[in-house]
A and B are shown apart, each in its own frame.
Chain A
Amino acid sequence: MVDALFAGEQLSKRFGGVVALTETSLEVRSAEAVGLVGPNGAGKTTLFNCLLGVVRPDSGSVYFDGRRIDGLKLHQRARLGIGRTFQRLELFSGMTVLDHLLVAKRARGSGARMWRDLLGIGGPSREEMDDADRVLELVGLSGYAHSMVESLSLGHGRLLELGRAIIGRPRLLMLDEPSSGLDSAETAVLVDVVRKVRAETGAALLLVEHDLDMVSVLVDRLYVLDFGKLIADGPIDQVLADEAVRTAYLGTASVAGENSAVAGAEAAGVDEL
């Protein structure tokens, strides 16, 4: 417990009659990469939201760096050093790509000060611009700096969300199905960016993903969630070999790849609606 960077303990959440989470505990240690998988509706996104304070869990507690953070609001938890992306894109509509990064950078830094704006010195500093340029290059969106986000493709949107999550140099990166709706080239860029960022900053990773290939490339340890309950956790190859996991979620090993392709296609279809 003490050595975990981020931990949820005994988290439960119901939505009316739907039990989304039952007494689920999960922890991510410093610099560790952890995966969270499970069938559709298993409660993965709900777990993310409970950990970050987007929804209030019915019971349970959340720790960051050994400190209880249940009382903290969403933005306060973010400022502890947690960057996240969303399963359904949450971009700032009506803003340019560059401004997404500048806003995220500033929000983790000194914040906006109206008196500075009034004096004309509140805009982005040299460093902030450089940082934004660097991140743009990293996620491959340099050519789109001044585009409105509405004009981006889904894949570029996901990369921008990733860029927005990492520009504050988070200690923990939480990605919710980052590859859904992406083609294989875009997924490759995404995996590459995540690896580079982790190598550079040593950020821990909590990854929700249906694409098991991507999971096994990025992650050391895996949790499996089914109907709001954890059914397995441990080193990734061990978990994937587990009989219960295979029947509950993966089917046989040979179908696993197909499954993920189907899940990806479905998600893409939904997102494009």
Chain B
Amino acid sequence: MSTFITYLIPGVPVGCVYALMAVGLVLCYKTSGVFNLAFGAQAYVSALVFYLTVESLGWPIWAGALVAIVLVSPAIGVGLDRLLFRHIRAAPSLVKLVVALALLIGIPTTMKLLFGSATRLNPPSIIANANVVYHFGSYYVSRGDVVTVLVTLVVVAALGILFRYSEIGLHMRAAVESPRMLQLSGISAERVGAFSWGLSSFLAGLAGVLLAPLFSRVSSLDFTTLLVSAIAAAALGSLTSLPLTLVGGIVLGIGQAVLTGYLPLNSVLATGLRPAFPFVVLVVLLLVMPGLRGAMEVTDPLSGCDPPPPPLAASVRDPRLDRVARIGFPIFLAVFVISALTWVPSFWVFILTQGLAFSIMFLSITVLTGMGGQISLCQAAFAGFGAFTAGQLAMHLGLSVIVGALVGGVIAAAVGVLVAIPALRLGGIALALATLAFSLLADNVLFPLGWLGNGATGVTVPRPAIGPISFAGTRAFFLLALVALAICSTIVIMVRRGMTGRYLAAIRGSELAASTVGINVAKQKVIVFALSAGLAGVGGAVYASTQGSVSPTDFNYFFSLVFVVLVVTTGVKTVEGAINAGMAYVILAQLLSYIPDHPAWLQRFSGIEILLFALGALGYVIHPEGVVEFQKRFWTERIARMLDRFGSEEGEAEGKDASDGLGSPVAGMFPAVPRAPGGSGDAGGW
């Protein structure tokens, strides 16, 4: 018993920090409808600002705290509300989630750009003499822990009073119901929204500064873990009750601490399960609490008044441009392949091969998100399953990586089915969180296993040979990867053009109507998850063989987030969107790595490609179809209009005929371009 309490005590203050963040999350979610994953990054910013002011500039602690918690953090929150979230209030939850994801990965990169990436050791504590220890019999607690708990209790109590007794609290509760309704009754919903964003960001900042000293250095990754722990705590409080959220946070903190105490030291379970614990709790909660899933799908009852998103470029495609594309694309492809096989330096061919591998992985997002309408934050983990399978089969059984990639794809698909079965009951944000949890479980518990990812050592994955033809050379392997991408793209295109694609489009359009005509929606979702995971697995194996060896860090959860943001930026609905994303990712990263080391500030720009994509994903606010997709539509319309003007000089009738509805901004609303019979709704693109 006494050991139990010894283990338990340090868990309480950690749990309190989880709870603070969780309360901010719930507050923001309830009043603005945004499940703000970026709070993880905002907590990091506060911790960083506190470190910089106190340690680097030598400010007194109170001044640093004032700036970090009271000024910077709420300012970021209010700014995000103003610039972004206010405008997507009525958007589908997918859009909000992607924007929050983009911020979660974009904000730390921005910080690196602003303040450099020096390692910042031993974060200071905000509490004076935090290390003084009080003894209670055989137990002892530090002053820091006591103050943390007290601060949390005071803050939660103050919030409770604010909601119950103040006017702004009343308005916030009204905003939870419907901000539009609030607006109609003459209260500025924007002001209420800004207040709640400021308040919840203050909580995130407070949590960040309080949490920082627990780690040996200030690193953004630790704060993502904080974020998910907070989500689990919020889930324990059903996303509604403040006291329950507080209890939830403390229970999690204690659970984690006790688990660490009892698990054997240095085993995979101890090192892996501790960080994964909140996620396991989260998944279990999502599965056993049906009401929670309902609570996660808040929508404004008046949100249906907004216009639907603009159509895909494919739907306004001009037949004349189609003709150009039909001739131009094969020429481009031929030039690309011949160049890669001849004059392009072999190092760049290697980079392009990586791009092909990523393109295959990104096709999995085209399938799942673009066609299936689901969002998953564990695609990198699926890729990992494919890569490690191929590597292990090659190492132990001497199987060719080509066979390994196929088996890896099948195994990844099987894992996908296992993930999909709970996913069927979730959907939306809950699905995203559950897959994120699976990602972390894979990172921390599964991939370190010797027979799978083999921990830090990783697995070696040789290049394959078919009979006498070896693909070990850079250019030969490039060709092989290109063939793999072509096959995978064909699979995606065929599925989309066929009946399965139409079924998925129907389910995206209305699940209720789809099942009313007799479609087994659950089965289709499992199928799309399996296909998606399988493609990711094949892509992972191709990537592994490109690299020669891979380790779990190559398929870290962070990549899953980056993948989604990337593909959304370039266009989640088309195969070319995935390929653009794959190529842009590796090429940009390589170009940025050429930035010289001197002067030192220039070096900060080296990892900035993530930020560029994050910014691109923020463009999702304006162009839900993806920025690249938008540009394509824009130029299609523009060129079509130019052709019209050109044509009308030659023959009046023909020009008029062609311009009918095509160049107008509402072109997508009307069937300007007759489609070939059998073309599915969004199958115009390839």
Q: List residues of chain B with CB within 8 A of the CB of A116.
A: 498-499
Q: List residues of chain A with CB within 8 A of the CB of B352.
A: none
Find B505's partner among A75, A94, A104, A146 (CB 8 Å cutoff). Answer: A94
B331 near A: Cβ within 8 Å?
no
Encoded as 1 (CB less than 8 Å from any A CB) or 0, chain B from 298 to 334 comes to 0000001100100100010000000000000000000
Enumerate B625-677 residues with CB–CB distance to A below 8 Å: 668-671, 674-675, 677
- The reply to whether A78 and B515 contact each other, CB–CB distance below 8 Å, is yes
- Please give the distance in Å from B664's CB to the nearest CB on chain A: 13
- The reply to whether A106 and B499 contact each other, CB–CB distance below 8 Å, is yes
Find A99's partner among B495, B669, B681 (CB 8 Å cutoff). Answer: B681
Cα A122 to Cα B527 in complex, Å, equals 16
A107 near B: Cβ within 8 Å?
yes
B518 near A: Cβ within 8 Å?
yes
Enumerate A112-170 residues with CB–CB distance to B below 8 Å: 112-114, 116-120, 122-124, 129, 144-151, 164-165, 168
Q: Which residue of B lies closest to A105 (CB)?
A: B517
A1 near B: Cβ within 8 Å?
no
Q: List residues of chain B with CB within 8 A of the CB of A84.
A: 516
Cα A52 to Cα B518 in complex, Å, equals 12
Find A151's partner among B500, B506, B531, B669 (CB 8 Å cutoff). Answer: B669
- The reply to whether B498 and A123 contact each other, CB–CB distance below 8 Å, is yes
Q: A95-B509, A148-B671, A151-B671 are in contact. Are A114 and B495 (CB under 8 A)?
A: yes
Q: A78-B515, A99-B680, A117-B500 are in contact. Are A148 and B494 (CB under 8 A)?
A: no
B86 near A: Cβ within 8 Å?
no
- The reply to whether B315 and A148 contact each other, CB–CB distance below 8 Å, is yes
- The reply to whether A96 and B681 contact each other, CB–CB distance below 8 Å, is yes
Find A95's partner among B499, B502, B531, B677 (CB 8 Å cutoff). Answer: B502
Q: A117-B497, A147-B671 are in contact. Are A99 and B502 (CB under 8 A)?
A: yes
- The reply to whether B509 and A92 contact each other, CB–CB distance below 8 Å, is yes
Encoded as 1 (CB less than 8 Å from any B CB) or 0, chain A from 79 to 116 comes to 10001101000111111101110111011100011101
Q: Which residue of B lies closest to A132 (CB)?
A: B677
A73 near B: Cβ within 8 Å?
yes
- Please give the distance in Å from A31's CB to the nearest CB on chain B: 22
- Please give the distance in Å from A201's CB to the nearest CB on chain B: 17
Q: List residues of chain A with CB within 8 A of the CB of B514.
A: 92, 103, 107
- Please give the distance in Å from B165's CB to the nearest CB on chain A: 28
Cα A104 to Cα B518 in complex, Å, equals 7
- Please give the distance in Å from A110's CB to the nearest CB on chain B: 9
Q: List residues of chain A with CB within 8 A of the CB of B304.
A: 273
B508 near A: Cβ within 8 Å?
yes
Total contacting residues, chain A, CB less than 8 A: 50
A244 near B: Cβ within 8 Å?
no
- The reply to whether A118 and B508 contact each other, CB–CB distance below 8 Å, is no
Cα A165 to Cα B509 in complex, Å, equals 16
Find A148's partner among B502, B506, B668 (CB 8 Å cutoff). Answer: B668
Q: List residues of chain B with CB within 8 A of the CB of A168.
A: 517-518
A19 near B: Cβ within 8 Å?
no
- The reply to whether A75 and B515 contact each other, CB–CB distance below 8 Å, is yes
Cα A113 to Cα B677 in complex, Å, equals 20
Q: A118-B491, A123-B678 are in contact. Are A78 and B518 (CB under 8 A)?
A: yes
- Please give the distance in Å from B450's CB to the nearest CB on chain A: 35
- The reply to whether B506 and A92 contact each other, CB–CB distance below 8 Å, is yes
Q: Which residue of A lies closest to B495 (CB)?
A: A117
Q: List residues of chain B with CB within 8 A of the CB of A106.
A: 499, 502-503
A262 near B: Cβ within 8 Å?
no
Besides A107-B503, A114-B527, A124-B499, 9 more A-B contacts (Cβ < 8 Å) are A73-B515, A75-B516, A75-B520, A92-B514, A93-B308, A93-B508, A103-B514, A148-B671, A148-B681
Counting from the closest, the 10 A-B pairs by CB-CB distance are: A117-B498, A92-B509, A122-B498, A112-B499, A107-B518, A95-B681, A90-B513, A78-B518, A104-B517, A74-B515
Contacts A/B (CB < 8 Å), 6 sampled: A75-B519, A95-B505, A95-B506, A103-B517, A112-B502, A117-B501
Interface residues of B (CB under 8 A from A): 304-305, 308, 311, 315, 491, 494-495, 497-503, 505-506, 508-510, 512-521, 524, 527, 531, 668-671, 674-675, 677-682
